[in-house]
Amino acid sequence: MATRGGALTRALTAFDSFREHLAQLVAIPSTSQDPGHVADVHRYLAGGIQPWLERMGFTVEIHPNPIPGFGPILFAERLEGADGPTVLSYGHGDTVRGLDEQWRSGLSPWTLIEEGDRWYGRGTADNKGQHALNLTALEAVLAERGGALGFNLKLVLETSEERGSTGLREFVARHADRLGADVLIASDGPRVAPEVPTIATGTRGTYHFDLVVDLRPGGVHSGHWGGLTADPAVVLSHAIGSVADRHGKILVRDWLPPNGLSAGVRAVLDGCPVGGGGEAADIDPDWGEPGLTAAEKIYGWTSFIVLSLLSGRPENPVNAVAPNARAHCQIRYTVDADPSGFVPALRRHLDEQGFPEVRIENASVRMPASRTDPGHPWVRWTVGSMQRSLGKPVQVIPNSSGGLPGDVFVDFLGVPLVWIPHSYNGCKQHGPDEHLLIGPAREGLAAFDGIWWDLGEPGTP
């Protein structure tokens, strides 16, 4: 007889061969950030994923991106009828660039290498390892149920996520009638700590802008002019210093959630750990908004980050007062802050602080924020399912600290968002030495096995 326990045993057995399978997927250098790999991106979908899905009974289509020049989007569905719920899942088959020469010796982006409790390789964490785990769990449930699921499953796998999910919004809008579902359940990003199973019910948004001080057509002699004419690097540094203080507290207060942390967000984050950065970075307890916990800072608040800062030519300094200075800045924000007010608030602030010459350029939302109420029935149902499978508490957060295109699915499909990340903060996605932790991966497989199983049982919301 098919049982939940039987499905779990099958999934954990499959974990032994999962590494080999993931290694094949990692070996396809499907970076979307390098035009030389356009064919690899397509090969990932058509060669790496499509045959696997078809073996599981999915109908698979690979659509060109609605925006010319961006990667294709795979849509797959496996429909059993109207009785069970319909679930939409999501992942991305593209990765950031390999950065081959920056990986530590013995490692390389397109080869999966196991060391200790880690699988190294580009995409192991972001996002190949995550969607492949979920599909491996699905395979186990299908086998246990004799080729049936008891629910309907749709999957969108895009390949321009690392270029801002360009085209996904248009694709989902165009196919909204076919993508309709009761809930989105998908995986990307980090758990709050490696050992803590996590559900994120949304994502923070990302907003980008440049701060520019451009004072003259070219550099002028630093002996004859230094001390006489304004130095754009000094002016820009002070302007940035007026945006955030010495300890990272944001001073443009109109960027923050206008009513502070809501009681709901505070409650769900009460006791939430933040950890597991490993050698990647340390939490500086005095950095950021005073009085907030680490979890409140990255899951409930606004962050300001200077992504790059340039004046003159650092690789070849000359004795000149530079003509200009430029910073590329980012704001991470939750649904509680309104991005349409970011630039007006910054302009007012810079003028008040005496920086009328500092220009704000190229300002725009890259990924909007999104959030499903952490108390939503589908969230509570998923927490219950995961706790049954894993035998330990699940931490719910009102949104992931990073960005994901959840807003697209909310806007056009109205689905609640249940993100179940399998990675951790120290995984070095987007840098050299990206890796997936084996322990959380194994738990993620078990969690999804239980979720896929329970979706075919009575008692779904």
Contact set with Zn ion (CB under 5 A): 126
CA distance 448 to 134: 6
In the complex, least distance from residue 96 CB atom to Zn ion, rounded to whole angstroms:
6
In this complex, which beta carbon is closest to Zn ion, that of residue 379 or of residue 404? 404
Enumerate the H helices of 258-405 as residue ranges: 263-269, 294-299, 342-352, 377-390
Distance of CA 274 to the CA centre of its chain: 16
In the complex, least distance from residue 128 CB atom to Zn ion, rounded to whole angstroms: 11
Distance CA 428, CA 180 (A): 34
User: Helices H, strands E: what count in the chain?
Assistant: 14, 19
Task: State how far the alpha carbon of 79 is from the alpha carbons of 57, 83, 90, 154, in Å.
Answer: 9, 10, 16, 8
Q: Are 80 and 152 in contact (CB under 8 A)?
A: yes
Distance CA 56, CA 139 (A): 7
* Residue placing its CB nearer to Zn ion in the complex, 32 or 372: 32
> Minimum CB separation from Zn ion for residue 74, in Å?
18
Based on C-alpha coordinates, what's the Rg of the chain?
Answer: 24
Nearer to Zn ion (CB atom), residue 334 or residue 400: 400
Nearest to Zn ion of 77, 161 (CB atom): 161
φ, ψ for residue 88, nearest 5 deg: -105, 130
The CB-of-162 to Zn ion minimum distance in angstroms stands at 5
d(CA 194, CA 424): 5
**Cβ neighbours for 380, distance < 8 A, ≥ 6 positions apart:** none
DSSP label of 48: I
Residue (of 376, 330, 405) closest to 170 by Cα position: 405
DSSP per residue, 99-114: -GGGSPTT--TTS-EE
Give 96 or 181: the residue with its C-beta nearer to Zn ion.
Answer: 96
Taking the complex as a whole, the smallest distance from the CB of residue 189 to Zn ion amounts, in Å, to: 8
The set of residues, in sequence order, having a beta carbon less than 8 Å from that of 261 and lying 6+ positions away, is: 292, 296, 300, 301
- In the complex, the smallest distance separating the C-beta of residue 421 from Zn ion, rounded to whole angstroms, is 12
Closer to Zn ion by Cβ: residue 126 or 139: 126
Considering beta carbons, is residue 126 or 296 the nearer one to Zn ion?
Answer: 126
Closest residue by beta carbon to Zn ion = 126
Comparing CB distances to Zn ion, the nearer of 158 and 454 is: 158
Q: Which is nearer to Zn ion, 11 or 420 (CB)?
A: 420
Work out how close the CB of 31 gets to Zn ion at its nearest, in angstroms, rounded to a whole number.
11
Residue 433 CB neighbour total at 10 angstroms: 19
Nearer Cβ to Zn ion, position 89 or 160?
A: 160
What is the H or E stretch that residue 30 is in?
Answer: none
Minimal distance, residue 231 CB to Zn ion, in Å: 37
Using N-to-C axis directions, what is the helix angle for 128-144 and 4-26, rounded to 10°? 140
Provide the minimum distance between the beta carbon of 101 and Zn ion in the complex, in angstroms, as a whole number.
Answer: 20
Smallest gap from residue 188 Cβ to Zn ion (A): 8
